[in-house]
């Protein structure tokens, strides 16, 4: 008997769906897209209405063959890929590639993988939505145009193997502009004054703050001097009730942001875990910009809230989607079963599910009711006031379940809690007053989560593109996720106690960053080039307007080929004009000054292996002219900010660090960082040591440590065949011969292997072609010698 064939895009999804369907159904996976544009060709026929030239990748041919065979013998084919543009395109490619007959092919969609949702989808099939397909095709083709036309220009103007992307390049621009804002930021100082007042009971202290900042140390000293003999009186006590409302249910971007703040997840990690939860039937579809919740979910939330916390904790809420062009799915991200506060799974699965569950529950709960009390203390003869503010929760409402986090760089409200009882017109005594120098804060660097929020605010990208965009710019090494050390800063403190004013200076470390997105030198140079030569393509409003056109295509309001034609006719002439431009200096090259010894100019620029410094230019017409000298920049240095003094110091390397066992120790700087060279060995210098100051004792210690590690690694060597060794590796012992590794059978002891036994293992091992890999040793300049 013929079965009905259900095709989904992932095996995990297939496994979950199979549990809900009977023996009349067969569920298979396409493992994602089965067709795409050719990897190394333009694959868009401009002359014939921008027709994409799709191919089946080699690794998908077996899957396609199996699906063809299964579909040919099926009574009906149900295409059950995700209901977003990408999922609709997968369904269309399946129908086209497998040659499915329209009369026996249906499209089914669902937002959650539960039995009810699957059965409902089976009872309400539809045809493929070609508008959604065309919106996906338009994005794919337009991105291919940008990548294939701009990347070759970058290879010629900047360095080989670079690439450009429409959304990715704009994301890098945000990071570069923020980095420059930070570099140009000038901090302004002021003095923050706090005072502790002793209340009438003679024991209770009330902490207050002056309602304005004082401009400088002199003004702060004068103010404290006045307060030595001033009288203080409680001028006002005001109490105001206020409410806090819960945040709406999660969309893709808010889930990514909150998971980063609360759980420390990266954006891609959040999406991987969310995908797992969706495919196992725990949550609804995770790529969405909708705030809508189904009637079923709203009813289930009410039952859970009233049953667990009582009727007063419940409040019905219907959220409106603010995101223009919301199209990825019709519901917010929520649990599929609101009666299940916990799930089985990995620690990460449980943590993310708990976050989603509590957020969904909270959005249907009552407001939190709070009371804010403000006490104002006047200063006799001064218009300034000291204030103290406290908040008390009268009814916790949704806060009983969930409190939204804020970004670490956001200004946090001072939490004073309950204030002590104070009487109006009371005259408290001054216990202590302190004026501390504070500084305006520079703009914060982006985290992955705050970059997603900014992209969403600008209308750039969609739920399905945020994580891939951020991953891509890191993979291309335009951006790194890393730390920045802080700088030491001196600040002043004035204190008034027992009628005496004391003054002191203290130091603090400011500006340290952890786990932030930092543009690399290559990212900065590429960004500057694209902004100079492709200003419209790099414009935030232009990128957002392209997204709106994709939305219009998805709604059937715009022909996708018309949108592509408009873009290409505007974009291609810019590419041709830029390609023809000849520049005197290499893109990104900066002269930092003149070498005082040679009188030659000193440059920094992007070299083949990254940022480098150069002294002199050389002359192709004069063979006797001195050749330019090169040095790699050290980690943490940037071609944007490095000084002449720092640049010249790079040329102090390589240098001698003394002798050991009768041979010289050399310290150098290569493309992989600073190193020690001793005989034919290279030893990396750790971050804790400076290559310019490392002593001979420290160098010898590193050499000995390297020898000890190598001795532990080598199990056996053979004089008759030096190229063959038995070694200890990460996953156990193995045989290494002529650059190829061979497994040792489990029944053999590595330390007892003879040369003949090793040769036999190699002979019986499957032929190893391995990956083509260029290897070699570093020379003093860090280049690779063959």
Distances (CA, A) of 746 to 404, 715, 743, 749: 53, 16, 9, 8
Phi, psi values for residue 124, rounded to 5°: -130, 60
Residue 237 · residue 272 · CB < 8 Å: no
Please, how many CA atoms are within 13 Å of residue 543, restricted to the half-sphere of its CB? 25
In this structure, the strands spanning 105-107 and 76-79 are parallel
Supply 255's token pair.
Answer: 């889930």
Which phi-psi region, left, alpha or beta, contains residue 503 (left: φ > 0; alpha: ψ -120 to 50)?
beta
Query: Does 50 qualify as catalytic in the annotation?
Result: no
Number of helices and strands in the chain (H, E): 19, 32
- Say which of 285, 309, 446, 675 is annotated catalytic: 285
Residue 47 CA neighbour count, 13 Å, CB half: 0
Q: 686-706 as b/e, with b when 16 or more CB fall inside 10 Å?
A: eeebebeebeeebbbebbeeb
Note whether 630 and 664 are within 8 A (CB): no
Distance, CA of 672 to CA of 177 (rounded, Å): 28
Dihedral sign for Cα atoms in the order 628, 631, 632, 634: negative
- Under DSSP, is residue 102 helix (H, G, I), strand (E, B) or coil? helix
Collect contacts of 176-183 with beta carbons under 8 A, ≥24 apart: 176/519, 176/523, 176/524, 176/527, 176/528, 178/443, 178/445, 178/446, 179/445, 179/518, 179/519, 179/524, 181/442, 181/443, 182/442, 182/443, 182/445, 183/640, 183/641
Who's near 547: CB < 8 A, 6+ residues apart?
325, 459, 460, 461, 462
- With contact defined as beta carbons under 8 Å apart, do 273 and 348 qualify? yes
- What is the DSSP annotation of 62-98? HHHHHHHHHHHT-SEEEE---SSHHHHHHHHHHHHHT
Tell me the DSSP string of 549-614.
HHHHHHTTSS-HHHHHHHHHHHHHHHHHHHHH---SS-TT-EEEEE-TTT--EEEEEEETTEEEEE
Distance CA 11, CA 30 (A): 8
What is d(CA 726, CA 709) in angstroms, rounded to the nearest whole number?
Answer: 15
Q: Tell me which residue of 659, 668, 670 sits closest to 700, measured CA to CA.
A: 659
Structure tokens at 712: 């532990």
- How many C-beta atoms surround the C-beta of residue 627 within 10 A? 10
Taking Cα atoms as reference points, which of 689, 683, 686 lies closest to residue 666? Answer: 683
Catalytic residues, by residue number, are 285
């Amino acid at each position: 008997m013929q079965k009905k064939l259900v095709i989904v895009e992932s095996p995990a999804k297939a496994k979950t769906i199979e549990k809900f369907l009977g023996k009349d159904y067969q569920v298979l996976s396409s493992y994602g897209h089965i067709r795409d544009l050719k990897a190394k060709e333009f694959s868009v026929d401009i002359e014939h209405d921008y027709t994409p030239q799709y191919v089946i990748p080699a690794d998908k041919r077996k899957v396609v063959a199996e699906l063809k065979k299964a579909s040919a013998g099926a009574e009906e084919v149900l295409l059950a890929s995700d209901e977003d543009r990408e999922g609709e395109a997968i369904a269309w490619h399946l129908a086209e590639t497998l040659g499915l007959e329209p009369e026996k092919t249906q499209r089914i969609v669902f937002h959650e993988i539960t039995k009810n949702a699957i059965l409902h989808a089976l009872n309400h099939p539809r045809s493929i939505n070609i508008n959604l397909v065309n919106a996906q095709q338009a994005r794919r083709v337009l991105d291919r145009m940008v990548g294939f036309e701009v990347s070759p220009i970058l290879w010629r103007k900047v360095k080989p193997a670079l690439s450009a992307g429409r959304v990715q390049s704009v994301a890098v621009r945000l990071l570069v502009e923020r980095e420059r804002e930070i570099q140009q930021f000038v901090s302004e100082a002021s003095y923050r004054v706090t005072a502790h007042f002793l209340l009438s009971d003679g024991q209770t202290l009330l902490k207050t703050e002056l309602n304005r900042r004082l401009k400088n140390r002199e003004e702060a000293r004068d103010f404290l001097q006045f307060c030595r003999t001033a009288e203080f009186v409680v001028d006002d006590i005001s109490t105001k009730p206020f409410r806090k409302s819960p945040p709406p249910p999660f969309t893709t971007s808010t889930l990514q942001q909150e998971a980063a703040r609360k759980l420390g997840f990266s954006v891609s990690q959040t999406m991987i875990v969310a995908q797992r939860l969706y495919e196992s039937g725990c949550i609804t579809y995770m790529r969405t910009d909708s705030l809508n919740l189904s009637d079923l979910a709203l009813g289930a939330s009410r039952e859970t809230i009233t049953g667990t916390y009582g009727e007063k904790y419940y409040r019905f809420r219907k959220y409106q989607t603010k995101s223009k062009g919301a199209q990825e799915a019709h519901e917010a991200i929520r649990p599929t079963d609101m009666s299940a506060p916990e799930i089985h799974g990995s620690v990460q699965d449980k943590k993310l599910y708990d976050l989603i569950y509590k957020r969904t529950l909270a959005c249907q709960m009552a407001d939190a009711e709070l009371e804010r009390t403000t006490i104002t203390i006047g200063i006799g003869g001064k218009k300034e006031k000291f204030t103290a503010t406290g908040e008390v929760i009268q009814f916790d409402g949704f806060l009983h379940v969930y409190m939204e986090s804020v970004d670490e760089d956001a200004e946090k409200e001072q939490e004073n809690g309950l204030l002590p009882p104070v009487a109006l017109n009371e005259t408290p005594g001054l216990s202590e007053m302190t004026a501390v120098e504070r500084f305006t804060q520079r703009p914060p660097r982006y985290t992955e989560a705050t970059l997603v929020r900014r992209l969403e605010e600008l209308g750039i990208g969609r739920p399905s593109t945020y994580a891939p965009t951020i991953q891509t710019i890191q993979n291309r090494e335009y951006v790194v996720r890393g730390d920045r050390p802080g700088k030491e800063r001196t600040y002043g403190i004035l204190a008034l106690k027992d009628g005496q004013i004391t003054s002191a200076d203290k130091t603090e470390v400011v500006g340290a960053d952890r786990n932030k997105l930092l543009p690399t030198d290559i990212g900065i140079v590429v960004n500057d080039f694209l902004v100079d030569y492709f200003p419209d393509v790099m414009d935030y409003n232009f990128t957002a307007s392209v997204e709106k056109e994709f939305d219009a295509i998805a709604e059937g309001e715009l022909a996708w080929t018309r949108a592509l034609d408009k873009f290409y006719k505007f974009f291609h002439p810019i590419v041709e004009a830029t390609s023809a431009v000849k520049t005197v200096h290499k893109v990104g090259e900066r002269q930092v000054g003149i070498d005082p010894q040679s009188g030659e100019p000193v440059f920094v620029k992007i070299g083949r292996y990254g940022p480098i410094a150069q002294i002199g230019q050389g002359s192709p017409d004069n063979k006797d002219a001195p050749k330019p000298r090169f040095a790699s920049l050290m980690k943490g240095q940037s071609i944007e900010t490095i000084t002449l003094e720092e640049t010249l110091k790079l040329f102090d390397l390589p240098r001698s660090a003394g002798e050991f066992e009768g041979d010289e120790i050399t310290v150098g700087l290569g493309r992989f960082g600073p190193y020690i060279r001793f005989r034919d060995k290279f030893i990396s210098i750790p971050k804790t040591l400076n290559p310019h100051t490392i002593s001979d004792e420290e160098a010898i210690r590193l050499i000995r440590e390297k020898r000890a590690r190598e001795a532990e690694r080598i199990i056996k060597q053979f004089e008759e065949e030096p190229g063959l060794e038995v070694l200890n590796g990460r996953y156990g012992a193995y045989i290494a011969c002529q650059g190829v590794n061979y497994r040792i059978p489990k029944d053999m002891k590595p330390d007892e292997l003879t040369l003949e036994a090793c040769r036999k293992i190699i002979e019986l091992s499957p032929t190893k072609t391995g990956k083509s890999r260029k290897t070699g040793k570093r020379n003093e300049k860090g280049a690779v010698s063959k």
